[in-house]
């Protein structure tokens, strides 16, 4: 006995629910994508902002250098005077040089550089930057932050080297005096080919990064808002997705409890809707199967009860007679024996039907030639046809293609169809057994090559209302006549023969069709595909 599986409990932990997993999965995916996108955007903006800050700083340095080069401004005169003074000091003796250095250290800046200091202070105050004017040796002449003597020699600084070579280059480094990171840029001051000095400007990186920080904060807030919105939309979408699944689960549990009248009633046009329609189709097929099962049980009970009732009546009559009428007693005993035989045939038929339906419904792997079997069946049936005063028309080709069928079951099918034809065909009638090979697509392009077996009779035919039900279990067109003519056929007069025939044909990969015209006869057509 198969182990019964308990249904899934109604309460499912939140972390195992499909809704939570959908939200978590898509939320995590959205967060990862959003983070990568924000990182790319911020990195791009950082590069653009850095280039823009460098460009702006270099432009400011060039503007300051141009102002210093203007002869009318007087700044160039101060630079030239400073350079002459420095050159003169270098030519003095060592003692005089030391005396000059003592005087230089005592002063805030070199004498005669008030205009340069004013220019540096103006640019520093105007743009909020650090301005230093250097001589060609890298020494500071004036500085906007304080004494020029506090500035180390900048001869080896990258921006100084680039300016002396008349190229643009910036540098980012930490100032050793205050530990602040600066962006440095420089521009040369020259009159003609004569290099008078270098204008160096520096901007704190905190000022450069301020717009980036503001934008990053705005992007972060926008990302959080987008994530929150995506989460809300994900919750709504997940609920919409899970709602029909819950409905389908509830319907399945209701159906499992025995109520087959329920349907999922989900009309969406997605995969869940398709699943729900498939489920409803399954329930409808299950309802039909249960209906057939109940009908089968009712019919089987009726078929079993009828002979048992007859046996009971005859046995009671025998007990009542108590041997007074030997002839009548003998007739009752024959009737009891006949009903017992009928019960035995019915039980055997039901057993065969159970075996057939429980078997794997696939054709065999090996092929077989059914032509010899068909010839044997035709020879065996000729005597019965002669006894019943019937004409038997047979046409079987000398060669037939091999088929993947069970020969004994095909023989059962043909015998049962011929037996039915004999039962329902009156004397002087005609029964036909026609076998032929159909080529692929002869009548239907989608139909493969097949062997066609046609069994026809000239009997009373089958009414149209009955034609659709003749393959159902226990269905009989003429119940009284079926019982009277019940013999050794598979149905035993109970209406099982054609149902078994259809099952055998389909389990061997074939198809069976029936056509009938009242008062003109019935034709059964069986096709087995050539594989």
- Please list the pLDDT of the chain residue by residue as tens digits (531 residues): 445 555 555 566 766 677 777 778 878 888 888 889 888 988 888 888 889 989 999 999 999 888 888 877 778 788 888 878 877 666 554 444 444 444 444 345 666 678 889 889 999 998 889 999 999 899 999 999 888 888 889 999 999 999 998 888 889 999 888 889 999 999 999 888 888 899 999 999 988 888 888 888 888 898 889 888 888 888 888 788 788 888 888 888 888 888 888 888 888 887 888 888 888 888 888 888 888 778 778 777 877 887 888 888 888 888 888 777 888 888 888 888 888 888 887 788 778 777 777 766 677 778 999 999 999 999 999 988 998 899 999 999 999 999 999 999 999 999 999 999 998 899 999 999 999 998 876 555 555 689 999 999 999 999 988 888 888 877 776 654 444 444 444 444 557 788 889 989 998 999 999 999 988 999 999 999 997
Compute the distance between CA of residue 17 and CA of residue 32 in angstroms, rounded to an integer: 22
Q: What sign for the dihedral angle of Cα 465, 470, 473, 479?
A: positive
Compute the distance between CA of residue 399 and CA of residue 396 in angstroms, rounded to an integer: 8
- Does residue 498 contact residue 349 with C-beta atoms inside 8 Å? no
Compute the distance between CA of residue 133 and CA of residue 139 in angstroms, rounded to an integer: 9
- Helix, coil or strand: residue 38: helix
Q: Is the CATH number 3.30.565.10 carried by domain 371-529?
A: yes
Our CA dihedral for 385, 387, 390, 396, rounded to 10 degrees, sits at 20
Domain ranges of the chain: 33-210, 263-358, 371-529
Compute the distance between CA of residue 520 and CA of residue 454 in angstroms, rounded to an integer: 16
- What are the residues whose beta carbons fall under 8 Å from the beta carbon of 178, sequence distance 6 or more? none
What is the residue whose two structure tokens read 């990862």? Answer: 32
Compute the distance between CA of residue 458 and CA of residue 363 in angstroms, rounded to an integer: 33
Choose among 198, 150, 192, 199: nearest CA to 175.
Answer: 150
How many H helices and E strands in the chain?
13, 10
Compute the distance between CA of residue 151 and CA of residue 131 in angstroms, rounded to an integer: 12
The pLDDT value recorded for residue 95 is 46
Choose among 31, 418, 92: nearest CA to 223.
Answer: 31
What is the residue whose two structure tokens read 């003749």? Answer: 470
Can you spell out the DSSP letters for 294-337?
Answer: HHHHHHHHHHHHHHHHHHHHHHHHHHHHTTS-HHHHHHHHHHHH
How many other C-beta atoms lie within 10 A of the C-beta of residue 60?
Answer: 20
Q: Name the E strands within 370-441.
A: 391-395, 430-438
The pLDDT value recorded for residue 510 is 92
Give CA 339 to chain center in angstroms.
Answer: 61
Angle between helices 497-507 and 326-358 (to 10 degrees): 20
Compute the distance between CA of residue 30 and CA of residue 43 in angstroms, rounded to an integer: 20
The pLDDT value recorded for residue 67 is 87
The pairing of strands 430-438 and 130-134 is unpaired
The pLDDT value recorded for residue 494 is 58
The CATH architecture that domain 263-358 belongs to is: Orthogonal Bundle (1.10)
What is the residue whose two structure tokens read 């340069």? Answer: 116
Which class does domain 33-210 fall in?
alpha beta
Largest pairwise CA distance in the chain:
173
- Does residue 391 contact residue 431 with C-beta atoms inside 8 Å? yes
CA distances (Å), origin 120, targets 61, 186, 334, 364, 377: 11, 13, 138, 102, 122
Can you spell out the DSSP letters for 205-271?
Answer: HHHHHHHHHHHHHHHHHHHHHHHHHHHHHHHHHHHHHHHHHHHHHHHHHHHHTT-TT-------SSH
pTM of the model: 0.51
Choose among 157, 158, 204, 148: nearest CA to 180.
Answer: 204
């Amino acid at each position: 006995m198969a182990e019964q599986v308990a249904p899934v409990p109604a309460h499912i932990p939140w972390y195992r629910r499909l809704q939570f997993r959908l939200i978590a999965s898509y939320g995590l995916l959205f967060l990862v994508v959003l983070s990568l996108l924000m990182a790319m955007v911020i990195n791009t903006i950082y590069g653009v902002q850095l280039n823009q800050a460098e460009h702006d700083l270099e432009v400011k340095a060039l503007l300051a250098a141009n102002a210093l080069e203007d002869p009318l401004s007087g700044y160039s005169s101060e630079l030239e005077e400073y350079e002459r003074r420095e050159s003169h000091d270098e030519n003095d003796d060592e003692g005089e040089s030391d005396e000059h250095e003592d005087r230089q250290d005592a002063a805030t800046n070199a004498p005669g550089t008030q205009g340069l200091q004013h220019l540096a202070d103006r640019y520093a105050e105007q743009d909020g930057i650090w301005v230093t004017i250097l001589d060609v040796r890298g020494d500071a002449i004036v500085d906007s932050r304080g004494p020029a003597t506090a500035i180390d020699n900048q001869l080896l600084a990258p921006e100084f080297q680039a300016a002396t070579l008349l190229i643009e280059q910036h540098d980012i480094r930490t100032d050793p005096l205050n530990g602040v990171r600066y962006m440095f840029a420089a521009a040369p001051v020259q009159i003609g080919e004569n290099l008078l000095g270098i204008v160096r400007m520096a901007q704190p990186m905190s000022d450069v990064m301020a717009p980036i920080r503001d934008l990053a904060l705005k992007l972060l807030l926008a990302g959080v808002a987008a994530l929150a919105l995506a989460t809300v939309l994900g919750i709504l979408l997940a609920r919409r997705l899970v709602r029909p699944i819950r409905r389908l689960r509830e319907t399945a549990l209701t159906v499992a409890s025995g109520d087959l009248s329920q349907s999922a009633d989900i009309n969406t046009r997605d995969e869940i809707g398709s699943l729900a329609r498939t489920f409803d189709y399954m329930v409808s097929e299950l309802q039909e199967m249960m209906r057939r099962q109940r009908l089968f049980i009712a019919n089987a009970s009726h078929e079993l009860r009828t002979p048992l009732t007859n046996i009971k009546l005859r046995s009671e009559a025998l007990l009542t007679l108590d041997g007074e009428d030997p002839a009548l007693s003998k007739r009752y005993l024959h009737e009891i024996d006949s009903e017992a035989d009928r019960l035995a045939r019915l039980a055997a038929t039901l057993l065969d039907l159970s075996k057939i339906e429980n078997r794997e419904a696939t054709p065999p792997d090996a092929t077989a030639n059914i032509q010899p079997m068909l010839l044997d069946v035709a020879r065996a049936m000729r005597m019965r046809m002669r006894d019943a005063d019937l004409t038997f028309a047979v046409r079987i080709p000398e060669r037939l293609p091999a088929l993947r069928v069970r020969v004994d079951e095909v023989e059962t099918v043909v015998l049962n169809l011929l037996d039915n034809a004999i039962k329902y065909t009156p004397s002087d009638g005609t029964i036909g057994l026609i076998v032929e090979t159909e080529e692929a697509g002869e009548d239907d392009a989608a139909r493969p090559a097949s062997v066609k077996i046609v069994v026809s009779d000239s009997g009373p035919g089958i009414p149209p209302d009955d034609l659709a039900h003749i393959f159902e279990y226990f269905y009989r067109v003429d119940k009284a006549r079926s019982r009277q003519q019940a013999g050794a056929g598979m149905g035993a007069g109970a209406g099982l023969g054609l149902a078994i025939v259809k099952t055998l044909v389909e389990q061997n990969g074939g198809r069976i069709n029936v056509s009938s015209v009242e008062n003109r006869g019935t034709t059964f057509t069986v096709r087995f595909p050539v594989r």
